[in-house]
Amino acid sequence: MNLLFDIGHPGQVHLFRHAIRILKEKGHDVTVTVKEIPSARQLLDAFGIPWLSTGRKFDSVWLKGLSQAAFNYRLWKIVREHDIDIAIGSSITIAHVSLFHRMKSILLDDDDAEAVRLFSLFAHPFADTVVSPAALAHQRTHRRDIVYEGTHELFYLHPQYFKPDPSVPAEAGIDITSPYFILRFVSGKAYHDKGERWLTMEQKLAIVRLLERYGRVYITTERQIDPELQQWQLRISPEKIHHLIFYATMFVGDSQTMTSEAAILGTPALKCNSFAHKLSVPNMLENKYELCYAFHPEESGMMFRKIEELLNTQGIKEIWSARRDRFLSESIDPTSWLVELIENYLGNKPRHRS
Strands in 250-253's sheet, in edge-to-edge order, are: 216-221, 180-185, 250-253, 269-272, 292-295
Q: CA torsion sign, 275 to 279 to 281 to 287? A: positive
Whole-number Cα distances in Å, 155 to 78, 161, 259, 270, 330: 26, 8, 16, 22, 15
> What confidence tens digit (pLDDT) does each residue in 306-343 have?
999 999 999 999 999 999 999 999 999 999 999 999 99
Going by DSSP bridges, is the β-strand pair 145-148/292-295 parallel, antiparallel, or unpaired? unpaired
Q: What pLDDT shows up at residue 352?
A: 35
What is the tens place of the pLDDT at every residue in 136-173? 999 888 878 999 999 999 999 999 999 999 999 999 99
Query: Contact 69/76 with Cβ under 8 angstroms?
Result: no
Quickly state the pLDDT bin for 65 (edges 50, 70, 90).
low
Tens of pLDDT, residue by residue over 2-16, are 999 999 988 899 999
Domain regions of the chain by residue span: 2-158+332-345, 167-329
CA 58 to chain centre: 19
Q: What is the pLDDT of residue 170?
A: 95
Give the CATH fold of the 167-329 domain. Rossmann fold (3.40.50)
Q: Give the model confidence (pLDDT) of 171-221 as tens digits.
A: 999 999 999 999 998 865 444 445 567 799 999 999 999 999 999 999 987
pLDDT tens digits for 247-258?
A: 999 999 998 899
* Pick from 253, 339, 233: nearest CA to 293: 253
Could you give the CA distance from residue 199 to residue 188 in angstroms, rounded to a whole number? 11
In a 13 Å sphere around the CA of 78, the CA atoms on its Cβ side amount to 26
Cα 247 to its chain centre, rounded Å, is 19
> What is the dotted CATH code of the domain comprising 2-158+332-345?
3.40.50.2000
Q: Is the pLDDT of residue 21 over 70?
A: yes
Phi, psi of 83, deg, nearest 5:
50, 55
Question: Which amino acid belongs to residue 283?
Answer: N
**pLDDT at 115 (0 to 100):** 85
User: For a pLDDT cut of 70, what percent of the chain falls above it?
Assistant: 92
Q: Inter-axis angle of helices 300-311 and 201-211, to 10 degrees?
A: 10
In order, the DSSP letters of 126-171 are G-SEEEEEGGGTTT--STTEEEESS-TTHHHHSTTT----THHHHH
- If you write DSSP's letter for every residue of 77-127 in order, what string do you get? HHHHHHT-SEEEESSHHHHHHTTSSS-EEEEE--S-TTTTHHHHHHTGGG-
